[in-house]
Amino acid sequence: LDGLTQVPNRMAYDLRLVEEYKRFQRFNQATVIIAWDIDHFKKINDAYGHRAGDKVLRIVADSLASRIRGTDFLARYGGEEFVMILTGTSPQDALRVAEGIREAIGQLGFHFRGAPVGITLSGGISAFREGDTPEDVFDRADKALYKAKGDGRNRCYLA
């Protein structure tokens, strides 16, 4: 577990990704990765301090975890990045889920020492495909994430 957010950490994600990839190869069940990044996180740390940034990370992790099914998986990938694995989910359904999550987090109404702190997320989504390696599917999600950030943030793109 990640010590700060209490969600699984990067190593747990790496292990789970391999398991889900093997399951995908055997059963060909739709499986999707969503890569998330908190928009302008450095500005939150710079403006309000690292304690506020830590609180934002915990709130985002709790919010992400509360919005997925028990069969899905969430991990803190590193820094202000999180990753989800959604099994039995089509890319279009994953996009709808991601948009709902993004909108909910944008409405959290987080305050630190009485000051409102806006929180938004960008997301990149990619489905497992025949012939993929686990790294391929993550790389596509990561590229979609960076396109979302480059196009103005606070949006989700499907690779």
Choose the catalytic residue: 80, 81, 130, 135. 80
In this prediction, residue 112 carries a pLDDT of: 80
Q: Can you list the alpha helix ranges (DSSP code H) found in the chain?
A: 10-27, 41-48, 50-66, 91-106, 134-150
In this prediction, residue 57 carries a pLDDT of: 97
pTM of the model: 0.95
In this prediction, residue 64 carries a pLDDT of: 98
In this prediction, residue 117 carries a pLDDT of: 85
* Residue 80 is a catalytic residue: yes
Kindly give the confidence (pLDDT) of every residue in the chain, 159 residues in length, as a single tens digit, with 9 standing for 90 and above: 999 999 999 999 999 999 999 999 999 999 999 999 999 999 999 998 999 999 999 999 999 999 999 999 999 999 999 999 999 999 999 999 999 999 999 998 788 888 788 999 999 999 999 999 999 999 999 999 999 999 999 999 999
In this prediction, residue 5 carries a pLDDT of: 98
What Cα–Cα distance (Å) separates residue 152 from each residue in 39, 49, 63?
A: 10, 24, 22
Three-state SS for 96-118 is: HHHHHHHHHHHCCCCEECCEECC
